[in-house]
Amino acid sequence: MTIKEKGTVMDEIQIKRAIARISHEILERNKGAENLVIIGIRARGDVFAKRIKDQIKMIESVDVPIGVLDITLYRDDFTSIDYMPVVGKTEIPFNVSGKIVVLVDDVLYTGRTVRAALDEIIDFGRPKEIQLAVLVDRGHRELPIRPDYIGKNVPTSDNELVDVKIKEVDGEDRVILREVKDGA
């Protein structure tokens, strides 16, 4: 199996603009930041959640509470994987009941991660509403889930990978499309 780079889908400035736009859209749709909380899915969604929080602070001078979700123990594919994923910490230092939760992830694909995240959030309480923000929507949903805020729609085929690089982890901000080929 080989993986070939097909090109950059988003560069640093495009990612920055997408985060800025999503932050404005969140504020516009919810008429401000009151009652809002942001929860990012490990490991990448939490970084974008933090950036959205910072952006909202710049725009409206409001500190929106932020949380991190690790969905490992809610996955539906344990019967079909042959390794044990590391269980990270879930940190939701506020009560979600009655809140508008903006759930943040980097790439939306089958929707199974989001399903796990929704189940987990509801174990913390009963939010008024949950909205979904993603940096990249690459299609191929296997569950009835749709995002409310999208950085960029990237049409892909099944043999492609969307690789999100972020400064905090990888040293650069870039979204790369890669192609997986069978054989040597």
Partner 1 sequence: MELKRKDLLGIEELSREEIEIILETAESMKEISERAIRKVPYLRGKTVVNLFFEASTRTLASFALAEKRLSADSFNLSSSSSSVLKGETLLDTARNLEAMKIDFVVMRHSMSGAPHFIAERLEASVINAGDGTHEHPTQALLDLLSLKERLGGIEGKKVLIVGDILHSRVARSNIWAFEKMGAEVSLCGPPTLMPYKIENMDVEVTYDLNEAIPDMDVIYVLRIQKERQKGGLLPSLREYIELFGITPERLEIAKKDVVIMHPGPINRGIELDPRVADGDHSIILNQVTNGVAVRMAILYLLSGGKSGEIAEE
Task: Tell me if 88 contacts partner 1 by CB under 8 A.
Answer: yes
Name, in order, each residue with C-beta under 8 angstroms of 98's C-beta and a sequence gap of 6 or more: 35, 126, 127, 128
Q: Residues 12, 123, 168, 170: which binds partner 1 (CB under 8 A)?
A: 123
- CB of residue 91 vs partner 1: minimum separation in angstroms? 7
Is 56 in contact with 63 (CB distance < 8 Å)? no
Selected from 125, 141, 148, 178, the binder of partner 1 by CB under 8 A is 125
Task: Considering only the stretches 8-16, 17-25, 49-57, 121-129, report the one whose residues sit in contact with partner 1 under the rule CB under 8 A.
Answer: 121-129
**E-assigned strands of the chain?**
2-10, 36-41, 66-69, 100-108, 129-137, 149-153, 160-165, 174-181
Closest approach of partner 1 to the CB of residue 79, in Å: 6
The dihedral built from the CA positions of residue 163, 102, 46 and 52, taken in this order, carries a sign that is positive
Determine if 1 is a binding residue for partner 1 (CB under 8 A).
Answer: no
**Residue placing its CB nearer to partner 1 in the complex, 31 or 89:** 89
**Dihedral through CA 123, CA 126, CA 131, CA 135, nearest 10?**
-30
Beta strands 2-10 and 174-181 are antiparallel
Closer Cβ to partner 1, 86 or 184, answer by number:
86
Contacting partner 1 within 25-44 (CB under 8 A):
none
Binding site for partner 1 (CB under 8 A): 70, 73-74, 77-84, 86-91, 97, 107, 109-110, 112-113, 119-120, 123-125, 161
